Amino acid sequence: MYSEIERRGLVLLGCGKMGSAMLAGWLASGLSPAAVWVMDPNPSEWVQAQGVHINVDLPASPAIVIVAVKPQMMGAALPSLPALGNGDTLFLSIAAGTAIETFQTILGQLTPIVRAMPNTPAAIGQGITAMIGNAQATADHLQMAENLLSAIGQVVRLDAEQQMDAVTGVSGSGPAYVFYMIDALAQAGVAQGLSPELAMQLAKATVAGAGALAQAADETPTQLRINVTSPNGTTQAGLEVLMHDTSGLTPLIDKTVAAAADRSRELANG
């Protein structure tokens, strides 16, 4: 899976939480540390202990450069890389809100580029990443990117770059919504007489278990909900509040995802 990368090298530009999660996945799945060049002004002790090249001269024509810096650092990071553009080095960006056209302008219009949006469960190999390539990204380039991203979870391919804003609103920002829901569920349990510790344990396990069941089950989430909702029972009483047409969860989530997607579009447009 990594033969081309081990022959030519992989450059990781930025190795914070997401970059480190990816690196851990690649090394665990057999990528040689000697094939990895990390460029990061403050590499962690963990990164320094992995045997990868850190902040040294890059290979002349690496197989891939992964851009994993924060969006606000993009302007400072990218100008150092045009020498690798307009060739067969693939650039894979996981930076939110940075369009493919931005990379093409800096690196050259002939540069193969894949834009991807992972999410934070990647840190435990349970992420999901959406990706899209430009016209210069070949089938081999796309497969290389997918192989690397698969080390941190599921991968889906988009039909158009414009879909990335919706992906950002749903799965990119989505873990934060779920974390907030866990907090809210625990606080509601405390309000009903549970200790904070017990309420949080119940909320975390309930959300984690329900998510795992939704992933594993053949039924849709709608059917799973129906399965556990007895007529006139406790679950139905709660769902009548949660599923209210105007004040329930659906209109709130609609507005939540739309706000995140709109912000993604604003970032992309500068």
CB 169 within 8 A of CB 257: yes
Determine the 3-state secondary structure of 167 from DSSP: helix
Q: Are 47 and 61 in contact (CB under 8 A)?
A: no
pLDDT at 73: 67
pLDDT tens profile 130-186: 999 999 999 999 999 999 999 899 999 999 999 999 999 999 999 999 999 999 999
In the chain, where are the structural domains located? Answer: 3-159, 174-268
Give the model confidence (pLDDT) of 182-222 as tens digits.
999 999 999 999 999 999 999 999 999 999 999 999 999 99
In terms of CATH, what superfamily is 3-159?
NAD(P)-binding Rossmann-like Domain (3.40.50.720)
CATH 2.120.10.30 for domain 174-268: no
70 vs 30, higher pLDDT: 30
Pairing between strand 113-117 and 127-133? antiparallel
Residue 227, amino acid? N
Is pTM beyond 0.85? Reply is: yes
Task: Select from 45, 95, 47, 49 the least CA-distant residue to 72.
Answer: 95
